[in-house]
Amino acid sequence: MRKLLLQLDTSTHASVFDRVVAHDAGADAVMSYGGVTPETVRDLVHGCIFTRGPKDLNNTAIFIGGTDMAAGEALLAAVETAFFGPMRVSVMLDSNGSNTTAAAAVAKLERAAGGVRGKRAVITGGTGPVGVRAAGLLAGRGADVVMTSRRLEYAQGVARTTRERFGGSIVAVSMAGAADASETLEGAHILLNAGGAGVCMVPKAAWAGRDGLQAAADVNAVPPLGIEGVEVADNGAARDGAEVFGALGVGGLKMKIHKRCIGRLFERNDLIMDAEAIDGVARELGA
């Protein structure tokens, strides 16, 4: 039976990236819808659960994406509400690559730093989908997480809801721009840049040779890179006293995690693959 993936995207246009990866991960066909909201999703879900018999429902699955993490979470909740009894299919949530990229970056940083518990982990540009999920995964492992933002009040709300979801310690601090990075990195053991594409958030002088900094990762692949001095292909390079990872170094593992998760969706019909489950796949991969 053909493996069908229903791609539900909260942005206007369904992500081409997510669609290509779905095919590469083994989906025979991908049905893509953009601009999907909790109010409009029920009948799309019913199209999945009423078309194949219960024992065949593992051959249909749902992928939720889009640029807005909160919208993705709301859509996942609405999808789950549309299921009942055995009438369900497996679902993966990965708004803007949030969970898969965060799981990959955290795995790299954790290994490079020899563990994260009790360590200060600074996430620059931490309020986006990738930063939020990375904050949750790091805090869940016992790190003291600091997420930076130009919008302190907004970021404090994001930190609170992320703490409520994942537990642990997450605080928001204001960082207006790269000029503030040095001060923000005081006491940091771990640095993750999750700022927007093409924005240098951390100049080299702010991190290079900094006492105590063990590992740094930048997930921005678009020049100028997010951490000056970390090259896009770095994958555990030793630079200026820290073990560092660029966007391609993280991205290779992210792609493996993403594809493994899509494959997993078709193994049964009741999986919900959000941050924790996706992180579990990263661990299985020995990341």
Q: Based on the shown chain and the rule CB under 6 A, indicate whether residue 249 belongs to the binding site for ligand NAP.
A: no
Among 126, 192, 215, which residue's Cα sits nearest to residue 163?
126
Residues 255-284 that bind ligand NAP (CB under 6 A): none
Whole-number Å distance between alpha carbons of 256 and 263: 11
Whole-number Å distance between alpha carbons of 244 and 225: 13
Q: Based on the shown chain and the rule CB under 6 A, indicate whether residue 90 belongs to the binding site for ligand NAP.
A: no
CB nearer to ligand NAP: give 89 or 105.
105
Q: Which of 65, 66, 72, 128 binds ligand NAP (CB under 6 A)?
A: 128
Whole-number Å distance between alpha carbons of 146 and 171: 5
Q: Which of 65, 66, 125, 140 binds ligand NAP (CB under 6 A)?
A: 125
Q: Which of 15, 32, 60, 96 binds ligand NAP (CB under 6 A)?
A: 96
Whole-number Å distance between alpha carbons of 195 and 183: 17
Q: Decide: 116 and 184 in contact? Cβ < 8 Å.
A: no
* Residue closest to ligand NAP, measured at CB: 128
Residues 170-229 that bind ligand NAP (CB under 6 A): 194-197, 199, 219-221
Residue 125 CB, nearest approach to ligand NAP (Å): 3
Q: Decide: 247 and 232 in contact? Cβ < 8 Å.
A: yes
Report which residue type is found at 64: I
**Tokens 């009790």 correspond to what residue?**
118
CB nearer to ligand NAP: give 45 or 134.
134
User: How far is residue 108 CA from its own chain's centroid?
Assistant: 14
Pairing of strands 242-245, 235-239: antiparallel
CB nearer to ligand NAP: give 85 or 223.
223
CB nearer to ligand NAP: give 19 or 88.
19
Interface contacts to ligand NAP, rule CB under 6 A: 96-97, 101, 125, 127-131, 149-151, 155, 194-197, 199, 219-221, 247, 250-251, 254
